[in-house]
Amino acid sequence: MRVCIGALNGLFVICARISVFFGSLQQWHEHIFCNIGSQQTFNMDGVALGLGAAGFVVQAFDAVVGCMDAIRNFREAGDKNATLNCMLSIEQYHLKLWGQNCELHHGKLSNHLTTPEAQAIALMILRNMLEIVAETEKLRMRYGMSFHVGDQNDSSTKMQKTIGIWTTAQTSQPIANFTPAIASETVEPGMELSPLGSVEEAKLYRKTIENGNASMNFMRKCRWMVHDSKRFEEMVKQLRDFNDSLDRLVSPRSQIRQGIRLDTEILQNTPDSDLAILERATAGTRPALSNAASTRARVSRLESQAPPRDELPPMAPLRRLEIALDQLDLRSHPSRESQIRTLAIYQPRNGEARDVLVELRKFDSGLTPFTRDATIKRATSLAHILSSPTHKDPTSTVRKLNCAGYFVTDEQVGYVFDLPEGVNTSKSPRSLLSLLYDHEVGEEEREDLDKPSLEERFALGKALCKCIYYLHVSELVHKSIRSDNILFFQGEGDRSDKLRLDEPYVTGFDHSRPDGPDDPTMTKTTSSPDERRYRHPEFQTSTSRRSTKIHDLYSLGLVLLEIAHWANLKSLVEGRTGEEMVSFIKDINGPLGELDHLMGSRYRELVERCIRSRFRVDVGVRGALQRVFLDEIIAEIMKCNV
């Protein structure tokens, strides 16, 4: 009896506090929007508004996060339902990151929410999100869904109290005006009130909790799939739209950083067995994350060589990608700049002919049969990794070409890539090296090639950094980041030869490999002195070491150096090679020191950090380097503006 009375007293206290909160909130809310219909925007006392705004926003944020936390593992039958669950979890983490960015976890508001207008909008959005989460809980109750969280009772109790007190199940009145009526019937010891508020329903709710780990019966599954599955999906979509609205309250630079961080944290905390679900859940909303999940799934699959799993159709079975030579019609000889790249027409056995890009990689003359077989196996694996579907990405983040297949001859291996949509297929792509290389064209012709503006060079650097970042998030080490492996295509309708420098494509994946501890770098490769200049100092005299993401960042730093000077690396180091070149490139009195007046001190610092490998990070900690890459490279280069 004492337990019962104590539980009721605690519940009344919570009710009283929430009622006071929403009563005050309603008055504050009416004060904010009293002039919403007039031509005035916000005619109010800003000081008075600000005094209570922080507390209201923080409380509303905590309420939404708490409710989403209680239902985030909303389990349903069928593959589509697993995808919906993943979508809901993403939006929950999305909201939490926004709160961290706005410092709400410290119980205060950051500079992003200092204005009364921003606070009012944030609070209005959070209230709407709470109503949506309440609808989600009602669906869970209707179909007897079970919680799968760390502390079953704690999560259930938290959800019951929050939703049961703050919303009404059967009326359409605003949540701010709703005052719950506590039933007078006797509540049995240990019984929690259900979201619907009555003791009878509490008994039913307790029975549901007791059988919470059991699956829904067949009829409920059918009813869910036919009637309310779409409704739940629409609720998740609304949560995503509201999250996007909250994002727009912060600066554009913060939005980009938060979006990349969200993708990173989700991908790194997703087990390999769930990557296919993540890919489907984000295909239409977060294409960069979906592409990264697809690539990492293939990396994981090829590393483990595990048999196909029927429940992961995007990962299995691996389709045959080997292409016969009679299916290709090379339009020209490989380009003069590298002797490895050319346009071609590819005719699939079942399908229409299409334009493609072919990259050729010659075998070492001294390869043994064993190393040749290993090289072919690597080519096969790489083709499968790069064949992951590249979802349309409005932000143009993952800038790589989709691999349609590969072929092998006695002398070389070739990769066949689909061209991007909307490009001029009659003109070969230009590499960054061809735009930089002093000897590519004569001096008179070069005078006609304008040096890109500072804004264009910043845009190119940002695009490359984000692309390499997402490759690393996918656990893929490029290993051959050079200016000749960065391509630009001319637009289909462009009349001029001017290229869009903010739309580069990273190629040259011939030596790429998964970032796994048991996947060593090939011990012997064919490369020219010009190519070796881009390698990390540890590889200047030897190729037997294992290439890592740190080595990729060194090469990226050299490309960023080229972009700043708009000159190729060979001319910048004045023909130096080996250790002499490494010392010269790191010398602040050399090309590096000139970046201050060319691009600004911030750009120079991030380039220096890359080429000096100056990252304060324990590379043995999973995800540690990615966080440093985001905070010290991506975040800094996003601040570089004209």
Per-residue model confidence (pLDDT) at position 194:
36
Q: So where are the chain's domains?
A: 2-250, 297-638
Q: How far apart are CA 298 and CA 305, in angstroms?
A: 10
* More confident position, 410 or 344: 344
pLDDT band at 321 (very low <50, low <70, confident <90, very high): confident
Non-local (6+) Cβ contacts of 536 within 8 A are 547, 550, 551, 554, 555, 613
Looking only at the bridges linking them, the beta strands covering 476-477 and 513-514 are antiparallel
Average pLDDT (355-380) is: 83
pLDDT band at 69 (very low <50, low <70, confident <90, very high): confident
Q: How far apart are CA 359 and CA 543, in angstroms?
A: 22
Per-residue model confidence (pLDDT) at position 174:
34
Give 349: exposed, middle or buried? Use CB within 10 Å, 0-12, 13-18, 19+. exposed
* Max avg pLDDT among 150-159, 222-231, 352-361: 352-361
Q: Which residue has the tokens 């096969």?
A: 380
Q: How many CB atoms lie within 10 A of CB 252?
A: 10
* More confident position, 155 or 470: 470
Mean pLDDT (the chain, rounded): 72
DSSP helix/strand/coil, 12: helix
> Which contiguous run of DSSP H or E holds residue 123?
helix 116-142
Give 122: exposed, middle or buried? Use CB within 10 Å, 0-12, 13-18, 19+. buried
* More confident position, 620 or 415: 415
Per-residue model confidence (pLDDT) at position 417:
94
Looking at 167-286, list the stretches that DSSP marks H as alpha helix, in order from N- to C-terminal side. Answer: 199-210, 218-223, 229-247, 252-268, 275-282
Average pLDDT (395-421) is: 86
Q: What are phi and psi of 592, to 5 degrees?
A: -65, -45
- Crossing angle between the packed helical segments 287-304 and 454-473, to the nearest 10 degrees: 40
Are 216 and 146 in contact by the 8 Å Cβ rule? The answer is no
pLDDT tens sequence across 244-296? 999 998 888 888 889 999 999 999 889 988 999 999 899 888 988 998 998 88
Q: How many helices (H) and strands (E) does the chain have?
A: 23, 10
Average pLDDT (294-304) is: 81
Per-residue model confidence (pLDDT) at position 197:
42
Per-residue model confidence (pLDDT) at position 555:
96
Candidates 545, 557, 451; CA nearest to 498 is 451
Q: How far apart are CA 206 and CA 530, in angstroms?
A: 72
Q: How much is the pTM?
A: 0.75
**Above pLDDT 70, what percent of the chain?**
62
pLDDT band at 576 (very low <50, low <70, confident <90, very high): confident
CATH fit for domain 297-638, picks 1.10.1040.10, 1.10.510.10, 3.30.450.40, 1.10.10.10: 1.10.510.10
Q: How far apart are CA 64 and CA 132, in angstroms?
A: 10
Per-residue model confidence (pLDDT) at position 220:
57
pLDDT band at 574 (very low <50, low <70, confident <90, very high): confident
Are 341 and 323 in contact by the 8 Å Cβ rule? The answer is no
Per-residue model confidence (pLDDT) at position 333:
60
